[in-house]
């Protein structure tokens, strides 16, 4: 029966040689393929323009990458969960990353940066929205937008807008800007720090912002 191995049997077969290892690898590859395919089906918007044949090919690629990752990390498996649960996460993470990359493949980041920054709170959805709170929210949103436009460096503003407002995946930004994850993290961190300091200089804490924008919705 497929996937009937115990945790110990999975490790034993994958770490062996010959027919036992080959059979385990093929069974695992098929499981990872189906996990990738399921992940794509749950995130159809990212691959809206892809045919089923193209999606199947992407799933094959993800399954192969996940298989390599599983074999590399096999010594780290401690048996605290089912082996199939452990490897499933590899397939899902790799597939989600692939789907996000494919979604943004034809999108110009330059075009996104040319778009006007839109950050204005439009008012609460509840019937009992406090008018004073509405005014404060608008004031804070204007302060945040002004800080982004005038206090951040061009690179900080680019990374902050793409990640926070446009929700572009980190990997896509790293690739398009020809940089590395640490550099992008640093730019994002510094941008957030400037924003935090500007709010604090106006007597506003991050907790105040969260409370105001989450209340009465």
**Same domain for 123 and 189?**
yes
**Same domain for 73 and 164?**
no
What pLDDT is stored for residue 205 in this prediction? 81
Contact partners, residue 152, CB within 8 Å, separation at least 6: 160, 191, 194
Number of domains in the chain: 2
Q: Which of 63, 78, 104 is the last residue of a domain?
A: 104
The pair of structure tokens assigned to 173 is: 């930004």
The pair of structure tokens assigned to 192 is: 């957030």
Q: Are 14 and 74 in contact (CB under 8 A)?
A: yes
Burial classification of residue 190, based on how many CB atoms lie within 10 Å of its CB (0-12 exposed, 13-18 middle, 19 or more buried): middle
What pLDDT is stored for residue 76 in this prediction? 92
Question: What domain range is 94 assigned to?
Answer: 7-104
**Same domain for 186 and 118?**
yes
The pair of structure tokens assigned to 5 is: 């191995």
Q: Which of 104, 128, 153 is the last residue of a domain?
A: 104
Distance separating alpha carbons of residues 32 and 37, to the nearest angstrom: 9
**Same domain for 210 and 120?**
yes
Residue 1 lies in a domain: no
Best CA proximity match to 140, nearest among 110, 165, 155, 120: 120
> Taking the model in full, what pTM does it have?
0.59
What pLDDT is stored for residue 127 in this prediction? 43
Residue 124 lies in a domain: yes
Kindly report, residue by residue over 87-137, the tens digit of the pLDDT.
999 999 999 888 887 877 666 666 666 555 555 444 444 444 555 667 777
Residue 2 lies in a domain: no
The residues of the chain scoring below 50 in pLDDT are 1-2, 120-128, 215-217
Residue 186 lies in a domain: yes
Q: What is the CATH number of the domain that holds 203?
A: 1.10.10.10
What pLDDT is stored for residue 130 in this prediction? 57
**Same domain for 164 and 205?**
yes
**Same domain for 60 and 74?**
yes
**Same domain for 63 and 156?**
no
**Same domain for 43 and 137?**
no
Q: Report the greatest alpha carbon distance in the chain.
A: 73
Residue 77 lies in a domain: yes
> CA-based Rg of the chain, rounded to a whole angstrom?
23
Contact partners, residue 177, CB within 8 Å, separation at least 6: 109, 158, 184
Best CA proximity match to 10, nearest among 24, 22, 23: 24
Q: What is the CATH number of the domain that holds 55?
A: 1.10.1740
What pLDDT is stored for residue 125 in this prediction? 46
Residue 52 lies in a domain: yes
The pair of structure tokens assigned to 131 is: 């008018």
**Same domain for 49 and 117?**
no
Q: Which of 104, 136, 171 is the last residue of a domain?
A: 104
Distance separating alpha carbons of residues 209 and 136, to the nearest angstrom: 10
**Same domain for 69 and 29?**
yes
**Same domain for 99 and 123?**
no
Segments in 43-176 forming alpha helices (H) = 52-73, 83-104, 109-114, 131-150, 154-160, 170-176
**Same domain for 150 and 92?**
no
């Amino acid at each position: 029966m497929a996937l009937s191995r115990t945790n110990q049997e999975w490790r034993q077969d994958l770490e062996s040689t010959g027919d036992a290892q080959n059979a385990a690898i093929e069974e695992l590859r098929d499981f990872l393929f189906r996990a990738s395919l399921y992940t794509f089906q749950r995130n159809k918007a990212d691959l809206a323009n892809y045919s089923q044949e193209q999606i199947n090919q992407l799933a094959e690629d993800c399954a192969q990458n996940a298989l390599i990752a599983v074999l590399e990390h096999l010594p780290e498996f401690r048996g605290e969960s089912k082996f199939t649960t452990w490897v499933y996460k590899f397939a899902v993470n790799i597939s989600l990353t692939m789907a996000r990359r494919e979604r943004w493949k034809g999108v110009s980041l330059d075009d996104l940066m040319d778009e006007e920054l839109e950050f204005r709170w439009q008012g609460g959805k509840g019937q009992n929205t406090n008018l004073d709170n509405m005014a404060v929210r608008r004031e804070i949103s204007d302060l945040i937008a002004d800080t982004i436009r005038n206090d951040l460096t061009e690179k900080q503003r680019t990374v902050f807008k793409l990640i926070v407002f446009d929700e572009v995946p980190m990997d896509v930004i790293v690739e398009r800007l020809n940089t590395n994850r640490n550099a992008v993290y640093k730019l994002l961190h510094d941008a957030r720090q400037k924003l935090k300091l500007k709010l604090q200089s106006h007597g506003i804490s991050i907790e105040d912002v969260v409370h105001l924008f989450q209340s009465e919705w």
